[in-house]
Amino acid sequence: MGEFVTVDLTELLNFQKRMDNIGHSYKKNTAVIEELDDIALDMRNYIIDGMTNTKKSTVGVKRGRRMHYPSMPGHMPARDRGELISRVTYDRSFNKIEIGAEAGAPYAKFLESGTNKMEERPFLQPTVDHFSPDIENRLWKKIKEVTR
């Protein structure tokens, strides 16, 4: 089990109730689900871009023969060997998006919340915070587009 954050669209939008009000045509539901996929993929790409371009420390840590320059505390974690980036994934159902890092990157939770020896380098919750205001707008824009 990895480290995941869930965006529950039922609470955010009263999503099912509003979908009931516009009807349940296949075209409408398919368009909304495709938009949810696009949002989830945008969230995943935001994390990957953030890890690739994060503000790095000037103090390096020796990793075998090479140096790793970790991110500054409070910023997304800096890419090291690419294990965490390769594990960033999402899952989407009709009323929620889960974004996170799959098992295989067990240190993701330590980066997200920090430890007693390391300050946090969050990447999941800041992504949800960044996208949350826009999710409802994007979904309603898509619904309006397919109901014209």
The per-residue DSSP string of 30-61 comes to HHHHHHHHHHHHHHHHHHHHHHHSPPBPSS-E
Domain count, the chain: 1
Is the pTM for the entire model greater than 0.85?
no
Residue 132: domain span? 3-146
SS3 content of the chain, % helix, strand, coil (to 5): 50, 20, 30
- What band does 143 get if pLDDT is binned at 50, 70 and 90? confident
Q: Which pLDDT tens digit goes with each residue over 23-76?
A: 555 556 677 788 888 999 999 999 999 999 999 999 998 988 999 999 999 999
